[in-house]
Amino acid sequence: MKEKVEAALDKIRPQLQADGGNVELVEASDDGIVRVRLQGACAGCPMSQMTLKNGIERVLKQEVPEVKAVEAVN
């Protein structure tokens, strides 16, 4: 599953990088929980939770049906 999640994140990265941010995959567990670390401008952005849920989580669930939730870690 980790490879599929990484491939889906590669589709999201250009939009994040355009705003000075990025996302790093920390863990993709067998129970469908994906943990990511927001980087750059995304790390301190007040809209980061919206980016995480409405952007990253939505795309990952579409691309990788095994994904149940996405969580941010520091």
The count of other CB atoms within 10 Å of the CB of residue 67 is 20
- pTM here? 0.90
CATH code for the part of the protein at 2-72:
3.30.300.130
Distance between CA atoms of residues 47 and 62, nearest Å: 22
- Alpha helix (H) residue ranges in 19-57: 41-44, 48-50
Contact 39, 19 (CB under 8 A): no
Residue 44 has a pLDDT of 84
Whether residue 12 has pLDDT greater than 90: yes
pLDDT per residue as tens digits for the range 15-66: 999 999 999 999 999 999 999 999 999 988 899 999 999 999 999 999 999 9
pLDDT of 39 reads 96
Domain spans in the chain, listed from the N-terminal domain onward: 2-72
Question: What is the pLDDT at residue 45?
Answer: 87
Residues 74 and 26: their CA atoms lie apart, in Å, by 10
